[in-house]
Amino acid sequence: MGWEYSEKTKQLFLDAVHGKPGTHLGEIEDPDGLGEHGSVACGDAIRFTFRVRRHPDDPTKDVITTARYLTFGCTSAIAASEALCTIIEQTERTPIEALKITNNDIVQFLEGLPRQKVHCSVMGAEALEAAVFNWAQKRGVDLARLGVTLHTADQEEGRIVCKCFSLSEPYIRRKIKELNLHTVAEITGAIKAGGACASCHHAPGGLQDLLDETWGNRDLKLKVLPELPLVEPVQAAAPPSERVVDSPYQFSKKIEAAINEHVRPMLQCDGGDVEIIDIKDTVVYCRLQGVCKGCASAQQTLRMLIEQTLKDRVDERIRVIGV
C-alpha cells in the first residue's frame, strides 16, 4: 500500500534527519519536562523534552523556550515530532497553554497526513501531555486544581481492548470522543487500536461496541451470515481397529524395538544411523543419518532393509517413507 506525503512533511523529515540548523532533534539534559509515548512493538516511540524560562514567583507562568525530541519511527512520525517542537517554540507558550496543541494542529502544520498516518501526530500530542505532567510535578503545580485534566494515566488502567498495542478501554473511549472517530478504520488510523490482529474489531466489548456505545447504535450490527451447507464427515478408509490390532503406543514401541534390534546395528556398522520422525497409522517416516544420508543406495536401504524388516517383524502393511 502506498501513500503520498505532503512536500512539507518530506522536507521536515529530511531536514531533521540531516540535522539542519533550526531543527529540534536531540534531548535536553536535565529537562524541565520529559514525556515518552509509544513502544517498540508499535513501531514508533518518541522521547520529548522541554526547557522553560522560569517565572520567579509563579511557576504557572513559566514559558517553554526550547523543545527537543528523539523519535524512532517512520517519515511522518519524525516530521510530526519536528512540527510539534516548532509550533511550541514559535508560539512562546506556558506548558499549560502548550496542552492546547492538538494532533490537528500538527496535521495542519504538516499540510495533511495520510489517513493511515494520523496516529503519528497523536503520538506527539501524547508525549507533550506526559511532559507537561512531568513539569507540573517538578514545579509543584497542582494541575487538577487549575482545572487541567490529564489523561496520560488511562493508557495503563482499565480493561485492555486492543491486545496487540495494549490500549485500554478508557483510553480508546476518550480518543473516540476527542478525535471524533466513527468507524473502526478511523480508530485504527488515529490511535492504531485494532491495527494488527483485528480480533478486537467485532469482539464483544471490542471497538465496534465502544463506537456504538459512544455514538448510539445506528443499526450497524453485522448481518448474520447464512448457514454454510453441512459437509459430509470425513470417512476413514477403514476403522483403525480392523487395520492395526495394537494401540498406537504398542505399535510404535514394536517398531522402535525392531529398528533398534535389527536395523540400527547394521547401519551403525557402516557409520550410519536412522531416526524415526513419525509414525502415522502404518506409515513410518524415517530419516537416514551419518554416511547413510545421501548414500546412493539410500532408497534401497529404506525399502529392503527397514521396510522389509518392519513388515516381517511387526506388520506386513507397514510402509516406510524416507524424509
Partner 1 sequence: MTITYVDNNATTRVAPEVYQAMGPYFTDDYFNPSSMYEPAKRIARAIAESRQRIARLFGLHDDREILFTGCATESDNAAIFGAARANPHRRHIITTTVEHPAVLDVCKDFERNGYDVTFLGVDRNGNLDIGEFVRALRPDTLLVTIMHANNETGVVFPIEQLSRLTKETDPTILFHTDATQSVGKAPLDLPRQFPHVDMLSFSGHKFHAPKGVGGLYVKRGTPCRPLLIGGHQEDGRRAGTENVPYIVGMACAMQVAADCYDDEDTRVRRLRDRLETAIEAQVPYVIVNGKDAPRLPNTLSICCYSVEGEAILAMLDSDGICASSGSACTSGSLEASHVLRAMKVPVHAAHGSVRFSFSRYNTDQDVDRIVEAFPAVIANLRKISPLWDSQKNEPRISERVVA
Q: Are 272 and 285 in contact (CB under 8 A)?
A: no
Q: In whole angstroms, what is the distance from residue 12 CA to residue 78 CA?
A: 8
**Interface with partner 1, residue 290, by CB under 8 A:** no
Residues 167-196 that bind partner 1 (CB under 8 A): 188, 192, 195-196
286 carries an active-site annotation: no
Using a 10 angstrom Cβ sphere, with 0-12 exposed, 13-18 middle and 19 or more buried, the burial of residue 204 is: exposed
Give the bridge partners for 275, in sequence order.
287
Q: For cell 501524547, what's the residue?
A: 126
**Interface with partner 1, residue 284, by CB under 8 A:** no
Q: Amino acid letter at 322? A: G
Among 88, 101, 110, 130, binds partner 1 (CB under 8 A): 130
Q: In whole angstroms, what is the distance from residue 211 CA to residue 161 CA?
A: 13
Which whole-number Å values give the CA distances from 230 to 41, 236, 237, 296, in the listed order? 41, 18, 21, 50
Helices (H) and strands (E) in the chain, counts: 13, 8
164 carries an active-site annotation: no
- Among the candidate windows 38-46, 208-216, 255-263, 291-299, which touches partner 1 by CB under 8 A? 38-46
CB 242 to partner 1: min, Å: 15
Catalytic residue among 85, 120, 200, 292, which? 120
Among 8, 17, 105, 170, binds partner 1 (CB under 8 A): 17
**Interface with partner 1, residue 50, by CB under 8 A:** no
The nearer residue to partner 1, 144 or 277, going by C-beta atoms, is 277
Residues 210-249 that bind partner 1 (CB under 8 A): 228, 231-232, 234-237
Q: Are 140 and 54 in contact (CB under 8 A)?
A: no
Binding mask 106-125 for partner 1 (x = CB under 8 A): ----------x---------
Show the cell assigned to 244: 492395526
CB 199 to partner 1: min, Å: 12
**Interface with partner 1, residue 46, by CB under 8 A:** yes
Q: Amino acid letter at 265? A: P
Give me the active site residues, please: 42, 120
